[in-house]
């Protein structure tokens, strides 16, 4: 088990990695050629920027903490450790990046076996670095952050992500959107799950839900939400949200009501 002092040191180093790679991504966006985009699958886009950003992150984290393995989106390193693993999304919001929409981020988490113990989300365009270690609270650019105090869905702004493949649940998803449009302050879709989670932690949103996500989309942000006083589960209210491909994150006050509403729709 890592000491709190070692974890804090790793957190500071990881922030620098995220910011350095974020600067590279920001520079590349200035002259990005959309013709260089590749397709991993239907509507699943990747660019040389994603791949190079991941290579740089992996190289720097290997120097910082060589004992750890990796779970990466672009597969530049797939060697996993029994105890510690970095979980990396080098460019969360690739489609936004490709189209020039300024909402994309670097997301880096460290897991100790099945538990996230460190998380950093760097929102590249606003230069906002959200971060946390287990038991240490949540921060944005050195300022402590907390979830909002909104008491119910009626007083909440909700974030989500639209499915871009695997549309078998689209009718239930649209039903959820219809319900939430009528029972909340509104819905937002930014295109980066890591940013969505960071905004819940910051109190800018009261809740976030999405399905078909991967571990690297949510690992860092989920810890930041929890350390900011929020609650994170899967749609069933259980803890299988890192690898279970579905997540609900809230300010904790609206969590039960939110889950009940989703269950009503999903079980219909």
The per-residue pLDDT for range 136-162, each reduced to its tens digit, is: 999 999 999 999 999 999 999 999 998
All structural domains of the chain: 4-144 (3.30.540.10), 153-266 (3.40.190.80)
- Exposure of 213 by Cβ count < 10 A (0-12 exposed, 13-18 middle, 19+ buried)? middle
pLDDT, residue 162, reads 83
The per-residue pLDDT for range 186-200, each reduced to its tens digit, is: 999 999 999 999 999
Q: List the chain pLDDT tens, one digit each, 268 residues.
A: 899 999 999 999 999 999 999 999 999 888 877 766 776 554 455 678 889 999 999 999 999 999 999 999 877 788 899 999 999 999 999 989 988 999 999 999 999 999 999 999 999 999 999 999 999 999 999 999 999 999 999 999 999 998 766 677 788 889 999 999 999 999 999 999 999 999 999 999 999 999 889 999 999 999 999 999 999 999 999 999 999 999 999 999 999 999 999 999 888 7
Distance CA 135, CA 114 (A): 16
DSSP 151: -
Structure tokens at 17: 């990695």
Name the pTM for this structure. 0.95
Distance CA 156, CA 185 (A): 5
Q: Cβ atoms within 10 A of the Cβ of 135, count?
A: 9
């Amino acid at each position: 088990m890592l000491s709190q002092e070692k974890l804090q040191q790793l957190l500071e180093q990881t922030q620098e990695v995220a910011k350095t790679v974020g600067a590279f991504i920001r520079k590349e966006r200035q002259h990005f050629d959309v013709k260089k985009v590749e397709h991993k699958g239907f509507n699943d886009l990747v660019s040389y920027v994603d791949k190079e950003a991941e290579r740089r992150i992996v190289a720097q984290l290997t120097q910082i903490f060589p004992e750890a393995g990796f779970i990466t989106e672009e597969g530049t390193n797939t060697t996993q450790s029994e105890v510690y693993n970095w979980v990396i999304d080098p460019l969360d919001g690739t489609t936004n990046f490709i189209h020039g929409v300024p909402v994309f981020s670097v997301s880096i988490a460290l897991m100790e076996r099945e538990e996230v113990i460190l998380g950093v989300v760097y929102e590249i365009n606003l230069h906002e670095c959200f971060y946390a270690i287990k038991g240490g609270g949540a921060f944005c650019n050195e300022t402590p952050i907390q979830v909002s105090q909104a008491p119910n869905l009626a007083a909440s702004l909700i974030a989500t992500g639209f499915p871009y493949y695997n549309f078998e649940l689209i009718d239930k998803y649209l039903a959820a959107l219809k319900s939430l449009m009528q029972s909340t302050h509104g819905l937002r879709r930014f295109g980066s799950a890591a940013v969505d989670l960071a905004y819940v932690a910051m109190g800018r949103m009261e809740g976030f839900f999405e399905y078909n996500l991967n571990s690297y989309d949510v690992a860092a942000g989920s810890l930041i939400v929890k350390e900011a006083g929020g609650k994170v589960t899967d749609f069933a209210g259980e803890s299988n949200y890192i690898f279970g491909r579905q997540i609900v994150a809230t300010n904790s006050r609206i969590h039960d009501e939110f889950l009940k509403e989703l269950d009503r729709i999903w079980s219909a």
